[in-house]
Amino acid sequence: MFLGNSGVSPVVTLILAVCFLVLGARRLDTVIRLVVFQAVLLALLTGILGLANGIGEMVFIAGLTLVIKAGLIPFILKKVVDRIGPRFETRSYVNRKMSFLLAGALVMVAYLSTGRIAQTLSAPGREILATAIAMLLIGLLVMVTRKLAVMQIAGFLIMENGLFLAGVGTTHGMPLVVELGIFLDMLIGVLIMGILTFRIQSSFGSINTEKLRNLRG
C-alpha cells in the first residue's frame, strides 16, 4: 500500500522533533505555527495508518484532526495572542539549553518506562508508544517551565497530541464516539483557557502566570 508502515517512522520522528522546536521557540506566534505543524503531521500519520490497515474511521479522524487541531484551535490561540498585544517572547524559568537537556532526559525516561509494554507491540507501535509518552512529558515540561499562559495551552495541546498518538499507534484509535468526545472536550478546554488568559491579562495587566501567586490568601 501507499507508503505502508515503513512510512510511519519518519513522521513519528518529525512529530517528536516539533516538540523540541517548541522548546526552542522564542516567539509565541512561532509556537502556534509549530502546534499547527504538529497537528498536520499527526493527521498525516493517522491517515497513513488508516489507509495501510484499511480502517475508514481513522481516515475520518485524520480529517477531523486537521480541521480542529490545525484549524480551529490555532485560530483561537491566534486571537488570544493578537488581543494581548505585542509581547511575543516566550518567557521561561529555565534557559533553552537546559530545556533541551531536560527534554532529552525525558525521552530516555519514556523509552525506559515503555520497554516492557513495547515488547508486546508490533514494529511501528513500539516506537509510537515511546514517542507518545515522551510528548506527554515534554508537554508537561512546557507547562511547568514557561511563564506565559499561552504556553500552558500549548503544553496542554502537546500532551493531548501525545495521548492521541498513543491511542492511534497502539490500538488503531479509540472508538469514534470516544474520539469525538475527546475532540469536543479539548475544544471547550482551549476555549476556556483562552478566555481565562484574557481574564488574567485584564486583571494583572500581563499573562505572566507568576502573578497568580498574588491570589494566595
166-200: b (≥16 Cβ within 10 Å) or e:
bbbbbeebbeeeebeeebeebeeebeebbeebeeb
Residue 206 near residue 149 (C-beta atoms within 8 A): no
Q: How far is the CB of 5 from another protein (least distance, A)?
A: 27
C-alpha closest to that of 18 among 125, 134, 115, 101: 134
Restricted to residues 148-167, the positions that interact with another protein (CB under 8 A) are: 152
Which span sits near another protein by CB under 8 A: 21-29, 72-80, 136-144, 162-170? 136-144
Q: Which residue has the cell 490555532?
A: 74
Which span sits near another protein by CB under 8 A: 8-16, 27-35, 51-59, 105-113? 105-113
Whole-angstrom distance, CA of residue 174 vs CA of residue 88: 37
Contact mark string toward another protein, 177..216, x via CB under 8 A: --------------------------------xx-xxxxx
Interacting residue ranges for another protein, rule: CB under 8 A: 93, 106, 109-110, 112-113, 115-116, 133, 136-137, 140-141, 143-145, 147, 152, 209-210, 212-216
